[in-house]
Chain A
């Protein structure tokens, strides 16, 4: 009987166990394939390169300043810069104002007898001058008639106002962004309104009969000069464009409103003398009706105005113009993500991989981390370069670009990185499930890009587009939205105008959920199926 020989043992020491070597192996695989590294770099360069296409030679129609009466078309356009309100935020500040000077404390009370509206005959850019008068009818829902105290008549000045609106009852609004709802009120029945300045506070109250008064709200007037302007104002914003009338450059139809006021009752430090009538604001920064003005009616006034006092939403460009190239980079990174998995099968490397690291789930997670990190860096760096570059090109060409706060900029940059990273991980997971590069790439593009194309370039109505941007991974493009929606501004808040139905984080979470489900399924398939 001979002794059994000891089995062979490699003289090399055992390598470290656990997840780290798996992760390092996957990173080495990515790093050492020259084509993949070049592709990742190319995706970032494409994003930056296409920022140029999205912003160069810019001519977005703008606002018609030279309507041609004979043909009904527009001869010239302007690209106005909207006025900047308190805090440097873009605002609209255009209204008809009948005012006096108030020094120190005081109050003004008036009865708004009625409010009616006019709508421009054609659309915002191509209507003829003859259409401008329009026909009388109900007021635009956000048409405003009431009292205002303002630090000055220069557009963008701080103010506080109480008003009767076309369909939103009595409101107190101040400094363009603050909006407080008062009682519901019909524009056809009379309403009494009062504004009181006392120290650094302006309070608003209203009454249905002129005897019983209800407080609507108050606004801070700290920092106002001692002498301010106060009086009656009327304004009426654009209608939101209907889908049928949606033409390039047409942001809506101008409307006007006219209101009948009773005799104003003044208390406190008002200047004596006559009322001053003034068309406040730059009527080129928002399409308006040309029939504005005021006339005495008995002891009161009839005032016709057109425009708006509030946040500006449609006068300029946003970060998404500079981020046009994200779609190009996204498709490149989707291909890269799918191939990072399917190439293993195609080259039979999967046998070596799974022999070296038999924990199949760990391999999948390591791959997802590597491709996710690569895509995140490519997307975030490219966005960080594209946004200032694209906005610079827009500004050099004379366009207004909405200023964006630093935290929002950081959110858009990191969000773009996360968007492309999650899409690449989704492609990786589908690559593991399908084992076919073509199928995985098509599936991810069909999930993320096609809904966007359908929302933009097909005949889908806005409701269906909104729905697509909620339930498909394309919801993640909400990270590119930088302007908030304002309930007090009529506008077509649709994806094609850059407004998404979900908040940025929620939109990204929708894509993350798809990626997570795909990873779970991929993990299951990888463990239960022979390689």
Chain B
């Protein structure tokens, strides 16, 4: 197993795109979070805003880059024909997928931590200047605040689960463009369909089962009772999606000719 892990780590480490994608996901996350923090002022939105969640908005964009990285890890091997070498050298296919999952998770956790800390720092520095001060009932963003720490930690886990979901789907469908379309469709269509769904019950159900709408409940720090799903339960829904995708990917990889 350790040899398989080392092989996957070497492959990912020595591909030029990996570094750029990780850098891109961090940069896009922090940049979007910063721009949103700049755009929101106390004068325009007033009291009762969830500024932790606001500071982590960049994940909406950063997760798409995580999806590319995870999809490329396996579907890229089919594009180049590398998969034949991989499976010849390491015939235990489920171990290969497990090793890929471990390596992708580790990289995404590392990049995600940087991205989340950067976003929180940007929010902490910018939001005070926009009127989100203690005088207006907003505490300074800080990881010593329990719910904020949970949101920050949970967002890193969220990104890792998005990576695993993408890896599972890409293993099952093999075609990079189709896999990316499926992953991003699953992520972004649920919030749009929920917003347009005229029936409030249907809307709530869509938000409860969507991998992104449920998973990002982990970012909420205020008005928890008003959420369609609790923070940890929401992250659990995403974990179920990721597990199902990995299961589907593992089964197809083990049963199908490469």
Chain A residues within 8 Å of B, Cβ to Cβ: 50, 53-61, 242-244, 248-249, 317, 320-321, 324, 327-328, 331-332, 334-335, 338-339, 342, 346, 399, 431, 436-442, 445-446, 449-450, 452-454, 456-464, 467, 496
Contact = CB atoms under 8 A, between A and B. Distances in A.
A460 B57 CA distance: 9
B184 interface: yes
B177 A339 contact: yes
Contacts of B258: none
Contact of B181 (A321, A334, A453): A334
A338 B179 CA distance: 12
Contacts of A454: 57, 60
B178 A339 contact: yes
Question: Chain B: interface residue count, which band?
Answer: 35 or more
Interface of B: 36, 39-41, 44-50, 53-54, 57, 60-61, 64-65, 67-68, 71-72, 75, 79, 175-181, 184-185, 188-189, 191-203, 213
A335 B57 contact: no
Contacts of B193: 50, 53-54, 324, 327
Contacts of A50: 193
A339 B180 CA distance: 11
A459 B198 contact: no
Given A243-B44, A399-B198, A445-B181, 6 more contacts: A53-B202, A54-B197, A57-B201, A244-B47, A334-B181, A438-B177
B192 to A, nearest CB: 5
Contacts of A57: 198-199, 201-202
Nearest to A394: B198
A459 B75 contact: no
Contact of B185 (A54, A58, A244, A328): A328
Contact of A438 (B180, B189, B203): B180
Given A50-B193, A338-B177, A461-B40, A61 B64 contact: no
Given A459-B57, A461-B44, A441 B177 contact: yes
Given A58-B198, A320-B196, A456-B195, A438 B75 contact: yes
A344 to B, nearest CB: 12
Main secondary structure on A side of the interface with B: helix
A252 B3 CA distance: 64
A244 B46 contact: yes
B65 to A, nearest CB: 7
A442 B64 contact: yes
A167 B118 CA distance: 46
- Which 10 pairs show the lowest CB-CB distances between chains A and B? A437-B177, A335-B181, A457-B191, A438-B176, A464-B39, A456-B195, A438-B180, A441-B180, A58-B198, A437-B176
A331 B185 contact: yes
Contacts of B60: 450, 453-454, 458
Contacts of B194: 457
A442 B193 CA distance: 19
B79 A54 contact: no
A58 B40 contact: no
A335 B177 contact: yes
B179 A438 contact: yes
A453 B192 contact: yes
Nearest to A337: B177
A440 B181 CA distance: 10
B177 A463 contact: no
7 contacts: A60-B199, A339-B177, A438-B176, A442-B64, A454-B57, A459-B57, A464-B39
A356 B199 CA distance: 55
B191 A453 contact: yes
Contacts of B200: 59, 61, 248-249
Contact of B192 (A61, A327, A431, A464): A327
A369 B193 CA distance: 30
A320 B196 CA distance: 8
A460 B192 CA distance: 15
A442 B57 contact: no
Contacts of A317: 198
A243 B192 CA distance: 19
Nearest to A465: B39
B181 A332 contact: yes
A449 B177 contact: no
Contacts of B188: 327, 331, 445, 449-450, 453
A59 B175 contact: no
Given A335-B181, A445-B184, A58 B199 contact: yes
Given A452-B192, A459-B57, A464 B40 contact: yes
Contacts of A453: 60, 188, 191-192
B243 to A, nearest CB: 23
Contact of A446 (B57, B61, B177, B201): B61
Nearest to B210: A457
B39 A463 contact: yes
B57 A54 contact: no
